[in-house]
């Protein structure tokens, strides 16, 4: 006969094995989801465009952000972290990214966004590189599952330009 401790150990090992197998199947099932989120961002106003005392350029924008991220949610999605970044090139750096706004979306019901806001984080370039600069606004998202690997993707929205003169 086996002791109580031996039986409890066997039962616990079996339960953990089944749990690990279920988590693996849950993670694998996310591979069959092909999300197709949509987004549109408009720059409603350039509130401030100035050169700071230390020589850096600073921009304040009013943005209209609308996005439908419902397709990112499956039964395995815990939450989605989404952020909007300004991306541009300078002679010194091939890619500059500045986060302007972010949010955590906890459920599918809150995944349709319609926000009019100023940039949450400061849009500053170290130097005088922003006058007349073309830039992209890129919506990035990170899907955080209950189990399995995180999924990250982005949607690039181009065609934005800063003015030639400070305001």
- For range 117-121, the mean pLDDT: 95
Over residues 51-91, the pLDDT tens digits come to 999 989 999 999 999 999 999 999 889 999 999 999 999 88
Over residues 126-144, the pLDDT tens digits come to 888 899 999 999 999 999 9
Over residues 84-93, the pLDDT tens digits come to 999 999 888 8
Nearest CA to 133 out of 167, 86, 99 is that of 86
Long-range pairs of 93-99 with CB within 8 A, sequence gap ≥ 24: 96/125, 97/138, 98/123, 98/124, 98/125
Over residues 97-110, the pLDDT tens digits come to 999 999 999 999 99
Q: What is the pLDDT of residue 1?
A: 64
């Amino acid at each position: 006969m086996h002791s109580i401790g031996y039986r409890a150990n066997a039962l616990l090992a079996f339960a953990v094995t089944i749990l690990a197998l279920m988590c693996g199947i849950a993670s694998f099932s996310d591979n069959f989801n092909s999300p197709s989120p949509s987004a549109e961002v408009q720059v409603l106003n350039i509130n401030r465009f100035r050169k700071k005392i230390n020589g850096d350029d600073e921009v304040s924008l009013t943005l209209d952000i609308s996005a439908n991220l419902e397709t990112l949610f499956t039964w395995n999605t815990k939450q989605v972290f989404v952020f909007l970044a300004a991306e541009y090139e300078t002679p010194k750096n091939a890619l500059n990214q500045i986060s302007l706004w972010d949010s955590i979306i906890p459920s599918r019901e809150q995944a349709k966004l319609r926000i009019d806001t100023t940039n949450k984080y400061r849009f500053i370039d170290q130097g005088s590189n922003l006058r007349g600069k073309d830039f992209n606004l890129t919506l990035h998202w990170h899907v955080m599952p209950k189990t399995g690997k995180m999924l990250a993707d982005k949607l690039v929205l181009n065609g934005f330009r800063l003015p030639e003169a400070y305001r």
